[in-house]
Structure 1
């Protein structure tokens, strides 16, 4: 009997991979791993505008933790990683496959005063036709969480009737009157003061922090410095909910209750004005008004129960920030993650040798 098959060895050697195949496999593996890490754990984001000055500066590069509030599974899984939604006229994603909203458990929940990265709710409308995870990313400070009642009085935020802490470097606009002598340009730059306009030869509108205002006040050529507020009762059509029955503006707003998952609100003309966008756009219902009747998905409704939590986000640069005062609540499915660390920072107005802000490198965010 022939037993050779028991001791048979495979002497055929595997064909070695070419250098090109080795590189392609390595690149493919790196892309898969980086995509998983970026999608589930953390990402890096750059700040393009000054809405968070002077807490976060234009040119800051941030480490954003997605696991803090729970990783959001991509709504649009077929997308080219690390690219903007559009490059020229070319879409970098395929919206033919859209997954429902799903968020994995996180380490914590969003708290008041957290600095949060999220997708822009203003781009949720049909005129944009963008999947949630392909909308512009913004960074703001969370002022109110689900169930909170928010109001703003002379630019001071109140949550549930109590004054909210102001960011240490919160900025707002001031009217500065001098004796005719200009304020030193080096001082303006050092204190990160932005001159917004000039209303008279010796009167300027400046954007700055409270600390900078207190410093400027001590200068002999400064006659007065007064914080600028829009008066209570002045209607601003650009401010949410964009209705003249709610005479709100940037500095005097509310009160308004943030929707909370499971909260049932009675539907009236007023509450529908406040919450219609959440009901219709974010929670995908058809809303109509027929005489005195409110119809949701074709049925008469006297109340509505919310399916998601909602947050109120505002920039620390109060008079130079497009935020919830303009477009309302941020739904939970738009939340990306928590800003944790400034990993790098550059100032494009400086020359190449002094462009890096070394004092901001690896700086915790608070």
Structure 2
């Protein structure tokens, strides 16, 4: 039988170098994997404003899926496994932002209510697509007109409405409440009636389209542009499509005494190259959204919000544990 072969121990310096190289590979691989995951699949966003209350609160940290609609890489979108749908809460780059790189424009989060090709209107705060009403988000906050005697501060606090009711006149109040809170408030002694608060003419007019002067509560109708859809240029369409063509379609458009010029040539119609979406905040009376600045182009869409993975209450300086893991 042959004698066993003795293995000489490696020099200590060489062993340390090999171990260090192994750790570098492991850590480097983990960093690359995390970066790839962030670019291609998931990203986190912190909610900075009240426009999505109470679906999302200030201090919520939301997990976003880029894979749903397709991640954007160097100005190109990879295939996703879903299209933006009505009711999705989406993160997108703010369309009015003037930064030349779309991906570096400020991220916003809103709910999609209008899809490409939809004819959308708002009547008495209710969104309609064609003749069909679109249900309001259950956790969405809105303004309600209250007549009668206001409940005590203790009652309002128990309903979650402390600091959310303002006097509007003798026996008249305006409350910011969810549907459930409003229903509970309507049952309180002294409350004679409770209904959605509709702004009077001239109060909070929508800014888009600028020439229409729609109300935020009674808006439209507008037709949401769709890829491949051809629109006739006329008095009705011009205020709606002008900014879309100039800012997001990469074309020039001009109205003259003789008609319209597209890319310097006479034109009666224009065909859109990409899809667009109409978005609203869930807190409809406290949101700058498509009523204010217009449509969201598909190339501005970042991804779909999935849920809250962490929540911090800045006022209370504590974690909102009850919101952790809450879906959107």
Smaller-chain TM-score bracket: 0.7 to 0.9
Question: C-alpha deviations, 1:83-135, integer Å up to 9, x for none?
Answer: xxxxxxxxxxxxxxxxxx42111111111111111111121xxxx33411111
Distance 1:203 1:319, change over 3 A: same
Residue 196 (structure 1) shift:
6.1
Distance in 1 of aligned mates of 2:116 and 2:62 = 26
Distance 1:250 1:298, change over 3 A: same
In the alignment, what sits opposite 1:120?
A: 94
Distance 1:28 1:296, change over 3 A: farther
Distance in 1 of aligned mates of 2:172 and 2:203 = 26
Distance 1:180 1:14, change over 3 A: closer
Distance in 2 of aligned mates of 1:323 and 1:65 = 22
Distance in 2 of aligned mates of 1:193 and 1:330 = 35
Distance 1:188 1:277, change over 3 A: farther
Structure 1 residue corresponding to 2:196, chosen from 221, 227, 231: 227
Structure 2 residue corresponding to 1:325, chosen from 276, 287, 291: 291
Question: C-alpha deviations, 1:123-156, integer Å up to 9, x for none?
Answer: 1xxxx33411111111111101111111110000
In the alignment, what sits opposite 2:218?
A: 252
In the alignment, what sits opposite 1:69?
A: 69
Question: C-alpha deviations, 1:35-66, integer Å up to 9, x for none?
Answer: 22111101011111111111111111111110
Please give the residue correspondences for 1:104-143 in structure 2 after superposition, counting only pairs within 5 Å.
104-123=78-97, 128-143=98-113
Structure 2 residue corresponding to 1:275, chosen from 235, 241, 258: 241
Q: Does 1:284 align with 2:253?
A: no
Q: Does 1:241 align with 2:215?
A: no
Residue pair 1:193, 1:208 contacting (<8 A) in 2 also: no
Structure 2 residue corresponding to 1:173, chosen from 133, 137, 143: 143
Residue 194 (structure 1) shift:
5.2
Residue pair 1:62, 1:340 contacting (<8 A) in 2 also: yes
Distance in 2 of aligned mates of 1:55 and 1:181 = 26
SS of residue matched to 1:199: strand
SS of residue matched to 1:216: helix
In the alignment, what sits opposite 1:80?
A: none
RMSD (Å) for aligned C-alpha atoms: 2.8
| Structure 1 segments unaligned to the other structure (5+ residues) | 1-10, 75-100
Residue pair 1:194, 1:207 contacting (<8 A) in 2 also: no
Residue pair 1:288, 1:294 contacting (<8 A) in 2 also: yes
Residue pair 2:310, 2:324 contacting (<8 A) in 1 also: yes
Distance 1:189 1:72, change over 3 A: farther
Distance 1:23 1:307, change over 3 A: same
Distance in 2 of aligned mates of 1:190 and 1:24 = 55
In the alignment, what sits opposite 1:360?
A: 323
Distance in 2 of aligned mates of 1:190 and 1:180 = 13
Residue pair 2:207, 2:213 contacting (<8 A) in 1 also: no
Residue 172 (structure 1) shift:
1.0
